[in-house]
A and B are shown apart, each in its own frame.
Chain A
Amino acid sequence: MATLIGRSLAGASLIVVLLVAWQGLALSGRVTPFMLPPLTAVLERIARDAASGELALQLGATLYRALAGFAVASVGGVALGLLVARFAALRWFFDPIISVGFPMPKIAFLPIVVLWLGFHDASKIAMVIVDAIFPVLTATIAGAQAVPRELLWSAKSMGASDRQAWREIVLPAALPELLTGLQVALPIALIVCIVAEMMTGGVGLGGAMIKAMRFADSRGVFAAIVEIALVGYVLVKLMGAARRRLLIWHPEAQR
């Protein structure tokens, strides 16, 4: 415990040192405020946007798109993954699509998705789904296929129906891997959402950032970076906490 506190103290102090160095470098006059605005100015800007409600608006739009896409990708990815693991015909169909689609830089399809669905929420959410579904899908399939056969056989021999066996045995047994897939998908959802917003502009953290860049408003750009970094950090931490909660029965929680 003491080392844990010591370590997080060391980590926190490094971050403080870096922030102080940022401020010092910005004020030293070695770089222009355009290249690196002082930290205090950036924080002031964030506070001003927070007070005026601007921040809530931008943040809300980004979170809504990223999380809506992530939710659809999660539910769809898990459902499709279980079906693919269960039915050989589906496996035949989706296997090549997944193995070609997963390593592709799907963000390149963004202009096509915008062409089809317009500049509003729908195209961004669709892009998030397309990108975030692959890790969920592959993790679910791998998890479901790794379930020990004996577990399924025992459940069947004790009279469980096919559906019961999948809900009561396969889903829980695949849960750790499934959650790993979700943990990979969540940051992807945020990244893709922000890129989509940058490209199409408008409301949202990515749009606000690109607008600030076009107006050479570097305080706005740095304020958006700090906000986006914090959002990413909080989301990843929340996901980790959710994993610990959901897997409390699993041996990994005891470690």
Chain B
Amino acid sequence: MSAALGRYLPLLLLALTWEAVARLGLVSSLALPALSDVAAAWWQLLASGELLTNGAASLYRAGAGLALAISIGGAVGILMAWWRPLLVVAGPLVELLYPMPKSALIPVTALWLGFGDGSKILLIFLGCMLPVTIGAFNGARGTDQALLWSARSMGAGRLGTLWDVVVPSALPEILNGIRSAIALSFVLLVSAELIVARDGLGYMIGFLGAGGVYDAMFAVVLTVALLGFAADRCYRRAMNRVLLWRL
């Protein structure tokens, strides 16, 4: 406990500086509401249920988009390593699309599917698929040949080796790809909700900011930032547990 406190002391210092700067009136409260006011606003948003309903809308979009990205992206990546013709056709496409700033898809998905859930789910799916695909591809391609040969010689079928040998040995890289996908999904979600949405945490930020309710806006911004951080931490912990067998 005290070790954790010592480690995160700098963050505490920053928070105290924030509070002091705002309380002493060094900057306008419009530019920087005091941290305690932000906390009070956060509590109010939570009590009124606004934070929960909008948060649920956001998490649903991120979760659905990520689930699609992980299942389809992972399958494509493994098949690319497994079946050469797919690599020949899909490889250059992945290379071409990978550096594309995915936020450019925000207006198109809105044109296609409107301002609701569908456009965000499609955006997150399209934007987060490639990191998973590339991770799965690199992982599956790096499968130890000796393991494959042993599995085959012991009578495993083609599909059996794919499932029992290739997928587990690609797992670390797949999981790493998913980790970047999670981070990316938050970025895409918040951007899309800030720009085109009628609900969700990103929409709340824009709405509160436009209305000049800055302490509440800061509260939602911090909520989103902390959610992103917490998601990454939980995921990393789960990932390490899943990979325990790998020594």
Contact = CB atoms under 8 A, between A and B. Distances in A.
B110 to A, nearest CB: 6
Given A198-B191, A212-B107, A228 B202 contact: no
A198 B92 CA distance: 29
A11 interface: yes
Interface string B196-213: 100001100110010000
A221 B232 contact: no
A96 B108 contact: no
Contact of B111 (A10, A35, A110): A35
Interface stretch (B45-53, B148-156, B164-172, B217-225): B217-225
Contacts of A242: none
Contact of B233 (A103, A107, A206): A103
Contacts, number: 153
Interface residues of A, number: 54
Majority-rule SS of A interface residues: helix
B104 A96 contact: no
A228 B98 CA distance: 12
Interface in A3-19: 7-8, 10-12, 14-15, 18
B10 A93 contact: yes
B89 A14 contact: yes
A111 B221 contact: yes
Interface in A24-41: 34-35
A191 interface: yes
Interface in A216-233: 216, 218, 221-222, 224-225, 228-229, 232-233
A53 interface: no
Contact of A18 (B31, B93, B191, B196): B93
Contact of B225 (A8, A15, A108, A187): A108
B102 interface: yes
A221 B111 contact: yes
B195 A198 contact: yes
Contact of A15 (B11, B96, B99, B194): B96
A106 interface: yes
Contact of B11 (A97, A115, A218, A229): A97
Q: Which of A18, A95, A206 has the most CB of B within 10 A?
A: A206
A69 to B, nearest CB: 14
Nearest to A104: B225
Contact of A104 (B7, B100, B229): B229
Contacts of A194: 101, 103-104
Contacts of B102: 191
B244 interface: no
A166 interface: no
A129 B231 CA distance: 23
Contacts of A228: 100-101, 104
Contact of A103 (B7, B98, B228): B228
Nearest to B226: A104
Contacts of B187: 105, 107, 191, 195
Given A14-B93, A100-B229, A198-B191, 7 more contacts: A14-B92, A93-B10, A96-B10, A104-B225, A107-B190, A109-B221, A112-B221
19 contacts: A10-B89, A96-B7, A96-B10, A104-B225, A105-B183, A105-B186, A105-B228, A106-B225, A108-B225, A112-B217, A114-B209, A198-B106, A199-B191, A210-B107, A218-B111, A221-B107, A224-B107, A233-B96, A233-B100
